[in-house]
Structure 1
Amino acid sequence: MWISSLEFVSFCLPLCLCPSIEEPMLLGAEDHREERPALVPSLFPLFSPTLYFSTANEKVELLPAEQRRLLKWKMSTVTPNVVKYTIARSHFRVTKKSHDWLGCWGHHMKSPGFKALGVHQKLNHFPGTFQIGRKDRLWRNLSKMQLRFGKQEFNFFPRTFVLPQDIKLLRKAWEDGGSRQKWIIKPPASARGIGIQVIHKWGQMPRKRPLLVQKYLHKPYLISGNKFDLRIYVYVTSYDPLRIYIFSDGLVRFASCKALKALWQYLGSKGINTTLIWEKIKDIIIKTVIASDPYVNNLMKMHVRSPYSCHELFGFDIMLDENLKPWILEVNISPSLHSNTALDASIKGQMIRDLLNLAGFRIPQREDVVAACSSATSSTSSVCGGNRERTKLDLSADEKVKQAFYPTQRYADQDFLSTVLEVLTPEDVRALAESEDEMNRRGEFERIFPSPSSSRYLRFFESLRYLNILLDQWEQKYWNNRTKGISLLRSLCQDGIHLGTSDPAHIVRNGQRMK
């Protein structure tokens, strides 16, 4: 249905003027593009740099041949062009081998398959994210959270039933709701709208296949009489500690797609507080990702050698009701990145470039790639180009004591939790420095967890994790003065504290406060 209202056209008009940034149009303009260094230095001494991914109007310098030979990417049938173009600008070559690639943008796979990942490799998925990516699992997990924490905190998803097991509950809700209501039915594992239909008669209900049946949001917010939903891009770089980013722009989907920023401008011109809507959307996203946390972390421990190996982009579909309250419709774990329009190319191109910079790809030592080929069970390889990155198994006894102690204090007050920063162990310094480096590479992404207000979300975790507490307290203390926090970490890294220490000033015993 095409939009004809003058009011709506004025909202859309600037979007039609966006120039296409499709890569082929830039061929031949090579000599006029600004050259950027191939590596992004860390903010901290003795930390390795990360690979730089450029925009379409930049070119990336060539690394020395020995390092350049390691820049290999494993292509998949689902690798979108926008990813291919972005990695090509950083001089990656395609490989079909299983051991020598550094990055892959591919299908989600069964959890045991993650065991094959070398510690120098990054795949664009975590094991277990289907717990929010499948429609039936999403609603089951959000319903559990609602049951545990109440509707006041978890009231952002429509009433939902999973068939066939909920058929009696659905029949009762159907009868209680009267004859004028509508329900939307969805296959539980479909994508891109396949198999979705709206029904209003019980006789229209399919009986012989698994289905998700959802109360139809019958009073959505309309623009010139037209419904729309929002595609919000959410990027998770780590589940332990949990770090969630949200891209500043997205798509507003009518009959054709428009930019999210343009929607905010349009609503703002009507006197609507768009900041409040955005904060509510962030709240929904954080709570939904937390619902997947126990599953993902358990599978990470079972099947993934290094947390470096996993990262994931989610596409959250959100609809606004007539009161501008956001509702979650579904979560996509393989959101479409195909660019059919100049707007698509502009938003998705910038987003993927920023995402790959955030991911923090490192150049491994050549012998580590060889070791991955010869020893599929090796877990001692470095991904830091010389500085060995310790695993949880390498923690000192004192670090283990500290990390075990704080999560047991679930109901401790802020004064107590703040003591987690009084003695920074080597693992603490590494985790905090990695977090700060990541923030420094965020581009147009905004970190929404951890944040100065993330403490309120810690109670929603099934298991309270030490690194979540540590980063939460760090953000509370240094969010408004990052320079001071970075300066502290720099001095500690300069002394090599993050590499392991016998310095009594950085050793905590029996979880006691040390001054």
Structure 2
Amino acid sequence: MSSSEISSKPDGKADDALNSQEAVNKIAKTLEKSHYSFLDLRTAQGQILFLLISIALSVLIQSLPNGTFTSVFNQEIPTHGHVTETVRHECNKTPTTASAPIKRPTYWIFGKSENEAHLKHVKNVLQRLGYEKVTNETTDWDLLWAHDYPFRVLYPKLHHLKVHQKVNHFPGCGFITNKVDLATTDLEFIPKAFRLPEDREKFIAYAEKYPEKMFVQKHNQHRHINIKPVKEINYNDNDTFVQEYVDNPLLVDGHKFDIGVYVIITSVDPLRVYIYKGDILFRYCPQKYHPFDPKNVDKYIVGDDYLPVWDIPSLAPFYNGFGFGMKHSFDAYIRSKNRDPNGIWIQVEEAIRQTLLNKEKHIINALKNYRHKRNFFEMMRFDLIVDDNLRVYLMEANMSPNLSSAHFQQNTLLYEQVIYNLMNLVGIGSSIHRESLRTQTTDAEQMMSADKNIAVHAEHCTSDMCVESCELPECELCRPCLSAQDISDLHMAYREHVNRGETKRIFPVPIISGKSADLSELNANNQKMSRWFAGKCAMESIWCS
């Protein structure tokens, strides 16, 4: 270093550097004269040398340019890969004390009652699925759970739903659950009924033709039900009906009972219907049927204080002792009487199927007033009875069935499993983390169902007749022949099947022994969906039912 360069350093740094160099030279000469113990701090010589070295290093460090040590210690550590600036800066960040809250899908509740205790199990299941309850003031929600029919009061709010929003009722579902409308529907499994006052003359003629029959007058609100002599029927009572009474009910330990089947509608036009098969609700009349007294309704009408299965002596060993559900306990009892219960359940499914196919047109018409028909699903309970010949009769369908265990805590498991399976089936429950029911990324959506999952009829679709035209029924499910709505419907059907859990599809009709159902009386969309399930069944038997 030249003298001119040293003298150009500011703040006397040149003098410091010269002094530092002289100190180092003196240390070197001393070291040459010293023996191997020159740094022994126990000697005076060692202590003096240590002091001189410390002073020299201190002076040398002070003479270095600013930032020298910072640049040295910030050198990237060599690794097999590369430590980026981003990683180094992230490591140097001070940890934050609180992270941003995780956004969750949301729901709100509509009902006439401010007390939501009867919806305890609905709220329990939704909370476990990661949903957050919000008020009806927000418009950015995912699920509306309505205990009461919502489409009159909330029509402005529900008229223009966003694609991802779900409501637990269909517009027009009252055509199924209205007791007068259902009872007076001319179907195989519904006892003969007459609407009052307009069907008065028809009823009188029917009663005169069958004088041995008994009749029950019922109100649409399910109150004041009892058997009446024909002469005591009030023909001027609006919103009521008179129905033929089934006078030979099947009894268990002397008690009449009804059967509650949970029915789920996931789609209309095309129609898809499932039942919960994990268990069936059995309710027994609190008093034995015989000796029969039409004035004592506890002998033949099931009320809120019904007799539960665990209190029926012939069923208690199965239910209490061995852990069977209500349905399997009943089936075991019937078999113990050398009778086959399977015929009962075949009739139950057919009764539900016939009813919903008959009423579907009303829901389709009601849906025309709404932007999207895929916003809705439905769970109702169909109540049926069985006569002593094991013949099944449909009595009513409940739009918002009781899901409260306030009367019987033992029903908690039944209700929560029903709700849980419902949520999974309709896509509300999901093992995929998400902030909302909105459409996921393309990769996530295809992970759940891709076009290959809905493809059927490979042999037809590659034939010349289907390549050239979509006119033939065999070609309508080929990829080029499907509309965007068709593709959406099939993806939904595929996901429902994958997520069906303890539910069973009853429409489209399951394919038994390779025999497909007669489709001639179904509308076009129901025919197409039925053919798709048949196509999946032909590829893999698990899709047959």
TM class, shorter-length:
0.5 to 0.7
- Match for 2:213: what amino acid? Q
2:195 counterpart of 1:171:
no
Q: 1:214 to 1:221 in 2, by over 3 A?
A: same
Counterparts of 1:236 and 1:362, CA distance in 2: 16
Corresponding residue to 2:342 among 265, 271, 275: 275
Classify the secondary structure of the residue corresponding to 1:278: helix
- Match for 1:292: what amino acid? K
Counterparts of 1:332 and 1:429, CA distance in 2: 32
Q: 1:318 to 1:459 in 2, by over 3 A?
A: farther
2:274 counterpart of 1:219:
no
Corresponding residue to 1:263 among 320, 330, 340: 330
Question: C-alpha deviations, 1:81-105, integer Å up to 9, x for none?
Answer: 1100001112322211241221121
- For residue 368 of structure 2, what is the aligned residue in structure 1? 301
Q: What displacement does 1:169 show? A: 1.0
2:379 counterpart of 1:313:
yes
Unaligned runs of 5+ in 1: 1-63, 144-153, 370-381, 390-414, 487-515
Identical counterparts, % of pairs: 27
Counterparts of 2:345 and 2:543, CA distance in 1: 28
Q: What displacement does 1:137 show? A: 1.4
- For residue 45 of structure 2, what is the aligned residue in structure 1? none
| Contact 1:230/1:260 (8 A) holds in 2 | no
Provide the TM-score with structure 2 as the length reference.
Answer: 0.61
Q: 1:484 to 1:257 in 2, by over 3 A?
A: closer
Q: What displacement does 1:484 show? A: 10
Q: What displacement does 1:240 show? A: 2.2
Instruction: Please identify the structure whose Cα radius of gyration is greater.
Output: 2
Corresponding residue to 1:420 among 459, 476, 485: 476
Q: Note the 1:71-82 alignment, pairs <5 A.
A: 71-77=105-111, 80-82=119-121
Q: What displacement does 1:300 show? A: 1.2
2:504 counterpart of 1:449:
no
| Contact 1:452/1:479 (8 A) holds in 2 | no
| Contact 1:186/1:211 (8 A) holds in 2 | yes
- For residue 421 of structure 2, what is the aligned residue in structure 1? 354
Q: 1:484 to 1:417 in 2, by over 3 A?
A: farther
- For residue 181 of structure 1, what is the aligned residue in structure 2? 213
- For residue 109 of structure 1, what is the aligned residue in structure 2? 150
- For residue 465 of structure 1, what is the aligned residue in structure 2? 524
Q: What displacement does 1:182 show? A: 1.8
Counterparts of 1:470 and 1:181, CA distance in 2: 44
- Match for 2:174: what amino acid? F
- For residue 280 of structure 2, what is the aligned residue in structure 1? 250
Classify the secondary structure of the residue corresponding to 1:155: coil
Corresponding residue to 2:439 among 384, 388, 394: 384
Q: 1:417 to 1:222 in 2, by over 3 A?
A: farther
Q: What displacement does 1:139 show? A: 3.2
Question: C-alpha deviations, 1:98-123, integer Å up to 9, x for none?
Answer: 41221121121236453043322111
Q: What displacement does 1:206 show? A: 5.6
Corresponding residue to 1:338 among 387, 404, 412: 404
Classify the secondary structure of the residue corresponding to 1:173: helix
| Contact 1:157/1:328 (8 A) holds in 2 | yes
- For residue 236 of structure 1, what is the aligned residue in structure 2? 265
| Contact 2:169/2:377 (8 A) holds in 1 | yes
Counterparts of 2:273 and 2:170, CA distance in 1: 13
Counterparts of 1:157 and 1:455, CA distance in 2: 26
> Which structure ranks higher in relative contact order (CA pairs < 8 Å, sequence separation ≥ 6)?
1
Counterparts of 1:320 and 1:166, CA distance in 2: 27
| Contact 2:207/2:230 (8 A) holds in 1 | no
2:155 counterpart of 1:125:
no
Counterparts of 2:519 and 2:542, CA distance in 1: 25
- Match for 1:270: what amino acid? K
- For residue 225 of structure 2, what is the aligned residue in structure 1? 196
Counterparts of 2:396 and 2:543, CA distance in 1: 38
Classify the secondary structure of the residue corresponding to 1:105: strand
Counterparts of 2:245 and 2:510, CA distance in 1: 36
Q: 1:347 to 1:480 in 2, by over 3 A?
A: farther
Provide the TM-score with structure 1 as the length reference.
Answer: 0.64
Counterparts of 1:275 and 1:323, CA distance in 2: 13
| Contact 1:163/1:210 (8 A) holds in 2 | yes
Counterparts of 1:271 and 1:443, CA distance in 2: 31
2:193 counterpart of 1:160:
yes
